[in-house]
Each structure stands twice: as structure tokens, then as C-alpha cells.
Structure 1
Amino acid sequence: MTYPDPYSRPTPDRFIRRWLVITASVAALMLLWQFLPAIEAWFSPREAAERTVTPRGDLAADEKATIELFDKSRASVVYITTAQLVRDAWSRNVFSVPRGTGSGFIWDEAGHVVTNFHVIQGASSATVKLADGRDYQAVLVGTSPAHDIAVLKIGVGFKRPPAVPVGTSVDLKVGQKVFAIGNPFGLDWTLTTGIVSALDRTLDGEGGGPAIDHLIQTDAAINPGNSGGPLLDSAGRLIGINTAIYSPSGASAGIGFSVPVDTVMRVVPQIIKTGKYIRPALGIEVDEQLNARLQALIGSKGVFVLRVTPGSAAQKAGLTGVDVGPQGISPGDRIVSIDGSTVDDVAQLLARLDDKKVGDVVILSVDRAGKSREVQVELQPGV
């Protein structure tokens, strides 16, 4: 390219200056744009314009129902704090330190409070706080670790809190609404909602303890501190006790579990009456590990009777256990079902028995030496 006038040819310095001017202009415009609201506010009148409130209108029917349910149920829910005695390593003095918090609910007018066993496990004392702010020292009535249920008692002399209405869990349907009230992370009397996500779930017990069966699964938010609180249906009736969550992080992941109220109705009255829950039993000895080995040996499921307790209901019904004689080991009876419900292993046998009561007559389907037969057994108190 040629230039007629040598002085009109752009030099590098002129080219740089031109781009600097353009860049500075763009930057100035951007800065002005950023400060434009502030400049506008500076020159605007200092008086703020009044805003009118937009009418809300009536609440939706489901909102009204939820609010009413919480208002009616709140007084039946309690906040539980526990403490533990510890000994100072240097002074050897014993003192009380906070241990944890949880939830519970009023069971009856006598002041019985139902919560989870793991809420009070290892504690030396528990304080129950009512919805109206009153605090009471609780006395432990009894527990059933196999169901993660504990019963406390408080002495309310006047203005007694109402007992929670009791419903049923056998007729629950996946998809129906549920409501959980409790004290997650110490935030007292919190309401969360969800649905029944699944039924008849089983969780393994902690530390090798017995599994908890027939649990209700829900997506209602259940967090640490909700344990022991009530799970309610849309009528405000108790349908379960919130007991556990599945969570990789420790917080709610939308998978919570509740002990069904049908189990609570079977366990709690017995704890109140005797201080413990006595499981119905057959009067036989079984072992999970040996049972698994015998199953693998013969290739069949069921529960092998290892020994029949003398004088037990099982002996009266004619059941036999493993016999060791000159001819070798005879496996004895193998229980395959109770009242038509299959029994695959020891845990399932205990779960089937736990659905019954002491004194109930059950029909066992048993296999002996390849031959099936049915026997009737009247359930006796377990050890």
C-alpha cells in the first residue's frame, strides 16, 4: 500500500494512541453504566414512595388443613434433652454433662411419654419440655431395644397435655400424605411434610442387634433430633415413630423410617404394665450362623430347630431339634412358614412371631426328613 502524503502514513505511536483512546472511552462508558443507578439516586428526591400491600386472599384448603393439624398436634409433642454422668479423671468428681436431644409424644393422661430407645440410651437423666414451656424430669418406665421404643413418665399435676390420637398402620398406602413434628438440630416443634414412600422396610440393628421390621419409609424431612417424634396422617392420628434416616452426609436425604403404630400399640402397653416387652416365643433354640450353614448344606431355606426347651409349647406340639446319635446327626424339624407366611431365616422367624401375642395359636408348616406337616403351637412368653 502506498500513501500520497508521507505525513498521512500512520505511525506505531499514533496507532497505539488511537487504541488507548478507544479503550479508555469504552471503560468510561462501562463505569458510567455501573454508577448510573447511584447517580440517579443522588439526584432523585430523598422521600421513599409508599407501597401498598397486595391482598393475600384466602389460604388454600390444603394449607388450612395443615395449619389446623399442627395447631392441634403441637401440644402432644415434647422436646427431650438427656444428660450423662461422667467422672473427672483428676479430681474423681462426678458431674452431669449434656448428652443429646430428641423428640417424643404424650401417650396418655397418666403422663407417659413415648420416644426412641436410642434417644435415651446411655443417659443418666432426661428432661421433657412441653409445648407450653414447662420442664419435667422424666422417669424411665421401660424399653424395647428390638423395636427402638422407650417409655418415660412425667408428673404433670395440672393442665395436662393431650395424648396424641392413635391411628393404624396396617391400612397405609404408598403415596398418602404424612406429617412429622419434632425438634431437628434443637429447633423445637418443627413441622415437615411428605408422603408414604414405601412400606414394610427392614433395618439392621446397630451393633449387631436385632433388625427392626415393618418400618414405614417416608420422604418427609427427618433429621437428627426428630427421633422419637410422631409421624401423623392427614387426620392428625399417630401412624408411626420417626426413628432413622438413610443419609450419606448425616442430614436428611429424603429417606426416613418410622416404627409403625401397630407395633407401638403392641409394645408400649406391655412396657407400661411390666417395664419391658416380652416377645412371644415357641420355646425353641435357633442360631443364625448355624442356620445359614445348614441351609447351604441341604440347599433349602427355613429355620432349623436346634433344640426344643423341655416343657415348652414347642415340645407339647411335638417339634424336635437336632439329634446327635450313633447314626450321626439328624437335623430335626425345619420351620418353613407361620400361618401361611414364609420363613426364610431366623430374622424372619422372629419378625413373624413378633406380629403375634403371647397366647396366640399359630400354625407352623415344618419339614422333617423331607416330609411336610402342620402343627399348632400356642405361643409362650420369651426369655
Structure 2
Amino acid sequence: TFFITTMATTNATGTAHSSPVFSLLSVSSSSSSSSLRCFFPRKQSSITHTFRSKTTQFSVSISRANPNRAAPLLAFFTTHNYQSQSSSISSDTQKTPISKVPFLDSLFVICTSLALSFALFVADVDQASAFVVTTQRKLQPDELATVRLFQENTPSVVYITNLATKQDAFTLDVFEVPQGSGSGFVWDKNGHIVTNYHVIRGASDLRVTLADQTTYEAKVVGSDRDKDVAVLRIDAPKDKLRPIPVGVSSDLLVGQKVFAIGNPFGLDHTLTTGVISGLRREISSAATGRPIQDVIQTDAAINPGNSGGPLLDSSGSLIGINTAIYSPSGASSGVGFSIPVDTVNGIVDQLVKYGKVTRPILGIKFAPDQSVEQLGVSGVLVLDAPPDGPAGKAGLKPTKRDAYGRLILGDIITSVNGKKVTNGSDLYRILDNCKV
């Protein structure tokens, strides 16, 4: 009786293969021996098993249809067609009367088959394992540049904790509770830390944690609520302070690669990447509602906790402060905004020197841009100009009503110092560039 079975195996790619890779070529018999030949291991010699009896020999030859496949094949062979009372395994082994103990015949064949199956299975596993084990992949040049940028700038980024004082209504005990957190970066060796104003707003106590996890109490040097910028100071050893490299934002281009480092959701020193999606955007200050012009738009992920952290270009230079996101859910939606570093430079210099920002004011209240557009005019409509203010002293007329309740429009500002003014943002931009 002759049986052929196969064992399905799985290669390194997860693909199963089995019997279709083999074909039976011939079965023959003679009077001297029986043999089983199996061409299995890839690029290896054939495996041969011979079973001899005194009067009968069966020879089985098996080859693979596809020599590039290596699925194991097991061929089980047995016969009970003996004409003698004894048989031999080989000419140089001791003879044993098999026919007198019939089950020894089957037992021998089963053991031989199991041995073959184990050998073939191990060979196949070894072949598959060669495909699984791989050498470590080398980083690409752009990946190496990103890793280097993160490692060089991480020591400049800090974690800021905003603590507020609360009083228990029953015991009157006073205690501090975390009110919020954000990011910041080291500005100079004197311990100045730059962040957003909304990160520190309402804080009774501020703590700054450096990259080495040392924490220092921080004092507010000054803040600019209109531009959402604040400067803190910590008393830390100078060797622990690494100022961030400061770049420029006037020559930025849409599509330029950018990197944001911060502490989103308290996960310190998280790096996200993206590109500049837009330039010269405008957002409103969370504290005063005053417009912040020339804001950088990016798709780098900015989440709660990223506020106040640096936005870097490919050289690792500071080009902006991550400030706000546009998101209905409060999580990153791929639209983030950063205050340009050219704006930050002038503000920080004044805060460090004077503790406040001095900028010119007109002393007026003006109408929303939409209202002016409905009137079909271009410019800034003056609603109020107190007599003791700069605009009132200069003679600007406010909007008012006459004795019959009819609306009398005030002056409309159309230019300042020869620069055209079409809306309130234009007016603020011109005033910000004027020196007092």
C-alpha cells in the first residue's frame, strides 16, 4: 500500500503552500529492495529511505513541479506482500523475523515517516526564518536631519505649570490647584522664558520645568495681552539654560517644512511636523480681541499644551510661537496658528527692558468692518473720540445722533502717514510699526 501526504507551511510573507508543488512520476517494483526518494530541501540533495525484504523491492521516485517552492512532502510506504518468514533492513544489520511480529512492520514505517516529517519540517522552518530576520534599516537623510533637529532643540523647550490659589468655602483653607499648562522656550542665559500670555493668565504661582526635569519657580517679567506674548524669568544656573536659535519670518514660503515642539496633554517634549499652509493670516487675541496680524498657518499638529512652544524651520531656528488652533472639537484639526518671530522679537525686547510694551494709540473706538462695508465706503469709521484723548484733541469727530435721533456719521480714516487704510486691521498694522 502506498500513501502520499503533504504538510502545509507558511513562508515569511504569510503565504501558505502545500501539495500542488509536487508530482508523482513513477512507482516500480523489483525483487531486492524498496526505496522512498523525496526531493525536498531547496538547493539540497535528495532524501532517500530504503526498505528491503528478501523477495520484494518497491521503488518510488518523487520530484517537485516547481523547484522554487519548499513545502515539505511526506511519503508513507508499507507492504505486507512478503514471501518469506524474515526480512532485513540492510545487508549489514542484524536480521529480525518481521512476519512473526506483524505490527513491527507498521511500527517501523510509522517511526521512519515521523523522523522524515520532523527533518523536513525543521528544514522548512529554517528556510522561512531566513526571511524573517533582517538587519536594522538605516535612517534616511531627512530622518537623520529631523532627529538631529529634535535633539539639538529639546533642551531649549520648557514645560510651564499654571497654579491658581483657591480657598475652601467651609474651612477657609487656602491651597493651590493646577489651572493649566503649556510650553515655552529659553530666550537667553539670564533665565528669560517666552510663552503665550493665555498660558499664564490668572496664575498665582508659575513653575517651569526644564528638559532635565528640574523645576523652578518663575516670575512674570511682563506681558503683551494684545499679541498674546509673555516673558517669565527663572533663577537657574546658566549652564542649564540653552537659548533657542532665533530666525526670521519675513522670508517664509508656503510649503516650507516646519517642526513644533511642546507638551501636548502634559506629554513633555513632543515633536510634530508639517508645512506652512498659509501666511499673513489674522487671528484675535484671546484676552483683548485685538487682531494679531501676519500669523503663520501650519498643519503641524498643535494640541492643548502646545501653546507657547516654538515653531522651527528645517535649520532648527525659531520662526514663530504656537498660539492657537482652529477646531470645533478643541483637538488638532490640521489648522494651527503661530505668531511670527519678527513680531515676537520687538515685543520681547520691550518686555525685558521695560516690563511692558509701549505702542501708539489714537484713543478712538471704531465701527466693525462689516458695518462700514454696508455703508459702501472704505476705511475706518470713528464711533467715539473722547475730547481728552489724542484723536479728540486732534479734532476727529465721532458718530452721534441729532435732536431728532437721526444718525450722523463721524469721520472715516482712509490713510495714515500716506498708507492706505481699508479696515481696522490695516490701522492696527500701521500703528504697530510706529514708534512712540
TM-score, scaled to structure 1: 0.72
Rate the CA distance shift 1:91–1:311 in 2: closer, same or farther, 3 A: closer
* Deviation for aligned residue 1:287: 2.6
2:422 corresponding residue in structure 1: 344
The one of 148, 151, 171 equivalent to 1:68 is: 148
Q: After superposition, what is the alpha-carbon deviation per residue over 1:305-325, rounded to whole angstroms, capped at 9, x for unaligned?
A: 45376695996xx66434989
Equivalent in the alignment of 1:100: 180
Relative distance call for 1:300 and 1:163 in structure 2 (3 A) is same
- Once the two structures are TM-superposed, the CA of residue 211 in structure 1 deviates from its matched residue by 2.5
- Within 5 Å, which residues of 2 pair with 1:51-130? 53-130=133-210
Q: Which residue does the alignment assign to 1:163?
A: 243
Alpha-carbon separation, structure 2, partners of 1:251 and 1:296: 36
Q: 1:287 matched to which residue of 2?
A: 366
Shift of 1:284: 4.1
- Structure 1 match to 2:271: 191
**Structure 1 unaligned spans of 5+:** 1-42, 359-379
Q: Does 1:219 align with 2:295?
A: no
- 8 Å CA contact retained: 1:308, 1:319: no
8 Å CA contact retained: 1:79, 1:130: yes
Query: Structure 1: which amino acid aligns with 2:349?
Result: P
CA 1:96–1:185: 2 relative to 1, 3 Å: same
Is the alpha carbon distance of 1:237 and 1:208 closer, same or farther for their aligned partners in structure 2, counting shifts above 3 Å?
closer
Partners of 1:351 and 1:173 lie apart in 2 by 21
In structure 2, distance between residues paired with 1:311 and 1:184: 44
Residue number in structure 2 paired with 1:307: 385
Indicate the residue corresponding to 2:73 in structure 1: none
* Aligned residues of 2:167 and 2:175 also touching (Cα < 8 A): yes
Corresponding residue for residue 22 of structure 1: none
Q: Deviations for 1:82-117, whole angstroms, at most 9, x for unmatched residues?
A: 111101011011101111211000011110000111
Higher share of residues assigned helix: 1
Q: Secondary structure at the match of 1:198?
A: strand
Q: What is aligned with 1:364?
A: none
Which structure 2 residues correspond to residues 313-324 of structure 1 after superposition, within 5 A? Answer: 320-322=396-398
Within 5 Å, give how 1:172-321 maps onto structure 2. Answer: 172-206=252-286, 209-281=289-361, 283-288=362-367, 296-297=374-375, 299-305=376-382, 306-307=384-385, 312=390, 320-321=396-397
Report the equivalent of 2:413: 335
Taking only the aligned residue pairs, the percentage that are identical comes to 49
Aligned mates of 2:400, 2:322 — CA distance in 1: 47
Per-residue deviation, residues 95-153 of structure 1 (Å, max 9, x unmatched): 01111211000011110000111111111111111111211110011111111111110
CA RMSD of aligned residues (A): 3.0
Alpha-carbon distance between aligned partners in 2 of 1:70 and 1:213, rounded to the nearest angstrom = 29
Distance, in Å, in 2 between the alignment partners of 1:276 and 1:167 is 23
Report if aligned partners of 1:322, 1:329 keep a CA contact under 8 Å in 2: no
Q: Deviations over 1:167-202 (max 9, x none)?
A: 111111000000000011111101110000001111
Once the two structures are superposed, the pairs formed by residues 359-374 of structure 1 within 5 Å of their partners are: none
Alpha-carbon distance in structure 1 between the residues aligned to 2:381 and 2:275: 40
Judged with a 3 Å threshold, the aligned counterparts in structure 2 of structure 1 residues 62 and 122 are, in CA distance, closer, same or farther, namely same
The one-letter amino acid of 1:56's match is Q
> Structure 2 CA distance, aligned partners of 1:114 and 1:186?
18
Which ranges of structure 2 fall in alignment gaps of 5 or more residues? 1-117
- 1:267 match: secondary structure: helix
Which protein shows a greater Rg? 2
State the one-letter code of the partner of 2:259: F
Does 1 or 2 have the higher relative contact order (CA < 8 Å, sep 6+)?
A: 1
Q: Cα gap change, 1:156/1:199 in structure 2, threshold over 3 Å: closer, same or farther?
A: same
- 1:79 partner SS: strand
Partner secondary structure for residue 146 of structure 2: helix
Change over 3 Å in CA distance of 1:217–1:340 after alignment to 2: farther
Relative to the length of structure 2, the TM-score reads: 0.64
CA contact (8 A) 1:204 1:210 kept: yes
Q: Give the C-alpha shift of residue 64 in structure 1.
A: 1.1
Distance 2:278 2:321 in 1: 15
Query: Which letter maps to 2:379?
Result: G
CA contact (8 A) 1:308 1:320 kept: no
Contact 1:319–1:333 (8 Å) recurs in 2: no
SS for the counterpart of 1:138 is strand
SS at 2:294's partner residue? strand
Q: Distance in 1 between matches of 2:401 and 2:323?
A: 48
Which residue of the partner structure matches residue 132 of structure 1?
212
- The answer to whether the 8 A contact 1:285-1:309 is kept is no
Residues 286 and 346 of structure 1 are in contact (CA less than 8 Å); yes or no, is this contact kept in structure 2?
no
State the shift of 1:335 in Å: 1.8
